[in-house]
Amino acid sequence: MSTTLPPQFEVIDRPLDTQMTISFGPQHPSTHGVLRLELILDGEMLVKATPDIGYLHTGMEKLFEYKKWQQGIVITDRMDYLNPLGNNLAYVMAVEKLLGIEIPERAQTIRVLMCELQRIASHLVWLGTHALDIGAMTVFFYCFREREKILNLIEAASGGRLTPSYFRIGGLMMDLPAGFERRCKQFTDDFLAALQEFHTLLTGNKIFQRRTQGIGYISAEDAIDWGLTGPSLRGSGVEIDVRRTNPYTSYETYDFEIPTEQSGDVWGRYMVRMREMKESHKISVQALSRLKPGSIKADAPKVVLPDREAMKTHMDALIHHFLIVAEGFDVPAGEIYHPIEGSKGELGCYIKSNGGPKPARVHFRGPSFVNLSALPLMAEGEMVADVVAIIGSIDIVLGEIDR
């Protein structure tokens, strides 16, 4: 520990020469789902941690191969259930690349707006649960209050709160409802004050600082070698963000910064996410100001469902509607790996198509999966109570790890 403690609280960190194996999880609330860790302890010191995953494995990648291209979107919602719009985007954009479809500007702007709102919502869940794990209960209620506002916005746009399936191949499910911009603006106007509240609750909190600073260190070289991405990598001082390195949906035209911290510990990853929420807010404000009336669906009648009104009045629209729903559409043969910046790191979608209405293989590179594999490196040598702080700091979602 960096600071000296009063003698009655001194940490005894010499080995006790007796080892104990305990099973941490899968029902432990601090494992954020159904993660099991096999911990070998020497007194309170962690000697070895072995993550045991797969409790939530539902064979989603197998399921993709039996579903039509457009049916795959609803499966992606259920992977990283805190960032469903990001998953939608990775899948949908990969298919669009294979099809060679261009998306209208309004649809792109709405995608950026919704993804950034979703990123804030995902970070809010992380912040609330991370603080709860460490012992600060109040933060959780404040975070969920703000998250509720975002979920209401997503519900207004798509009809779903946790499983929106809002992005479709070739555009969006439907346009934003009337009054959405006003409600969204109200949220963005209020959010910075709320963010300041979170800082007041946690950032200056001495207990929180002691629990996080210098804990769970990972160096930049190790982080890259272990494939860490997202805030976990940027917390070690590596300025990598897919939105900047391989821009998509015109992110290159938005003005935002990539926050990094040099410390490489739980505190560094905490600060990166806190600052990232501010950047996401900045992007949402820009996207909101760019919203102009226009089409939200690409001009690809064989792929994109026609408008309801057109379907009722035009013969060809009806035929296309019937064919898309009944038989699906063919995607040209080829393979693609499309990475996006999810809320937890690089979310990659690998798709292989042999032509035909169903994919030959869909694979998701879940950032949580890769970030969790580096957990033993960060946790070994720490106290057992710090393991929950480290798990919280890498922000895992088991739905994405087990798929």
Q: Which residues make up the interface to other proteins (CB under 8 A)?
A: 53-54, 57, 59, 61-63, 65-66, 97-98, 224-227, 238, 240, 245-246, 334-337, 339, 346, 348, 350, 352, 360-361, 363, 365, 369-370, 373-374, 402-403
Q: Least distance in Å: CB of 372 to other proteins?
A: 8
247-268: burial string, b at 16+ Cβ within 10 Å, e else:
ebbebeebebebbbbebbbbbb
C-alpha closest to that of 171 among 347, 300, 4: 300
Q: Least distance in Å: CB of 395 to other proteins?
A: 17
Q: How far is CA 187 from CA 2, 143, 146, 351, 400, in A?
A: 39, 14, 9, 36, 28
Residue placing its CB nearer to other proteins in the complex, 120 or 372: 372
247 contact partners, CB below 8 Å, separation of at least 6: none
Residue placing its CB nearer to other proteins in the complex, 257 or 335: 335
Residue placing its CB nearer to other proteins in the complex, 156 or 360: 360
Q: Least distance in Å: CB of 247 to other proteins?
A: 10
Residue placing its CB nearer to other proteins in the complex, 159 or 357: 357
Q: Least distance in Å: CB of 31 to other proteins?
A: 17
The full length of the chain comes to 403
261, 337, 72, 124 alpha-carbon torsion, rounded to 10°: 0
Residue placing its CB nearer to other proteins in the complex, 65 or 148: 65
Residue placing its CB nearer to other proteins in the complex, 29 or 54: 54
C-alpha closest to that of 95 among 70, 128, 58, 116: 70
Residue placing its CB nearer to other proteins in the complex, 62 or 145: 62
237, 371, 165, 322 alpha-carbon torsion, rounded to 10°: 120
Q: What are phi and psi of 132, to 5 degrees?
A: -60, -40
Residue placing its CB nearer to other proteins in the complex, 211 or 234: 234
224, 84, 191, 200 alpha-carbon torsion, rounded to 10°: -50
Burial status of residue 63 (CB atoms within 10 A of its CB: 0-12, 13-18, 19 or more):
middle
Q: Least distance in Å: CB of 170 to other proteins?
A: 17
**How many angstroms separate the CA atoms of 306 and 317, rounded?**
6
**How many angstroms separate the CA atoms of 388 and 376, rounded?**
12
Residue placing its CB nearer to other proteins in the complex, 159 or 356: 356
Q: Least distance in Å: CB of 403 to other proteins?
A: 8
Burial status of residue 27 (CB atoms within 10 A of its CB: 0-12, 13-18, 19 or more):
exposed
Q: Least distance in Å: CB of 339 to other proteins?
A: 7
**How many angstroms separate the CA atoms of 403 and 92, rounded?**
18
Q: Least distance in Å: CB of 100 to other proteins?
A: 9
Q: Least distance in Å: CB of 255 to other proteins?
A: 19
CA 125 from chain center: how many Å?
A: 11
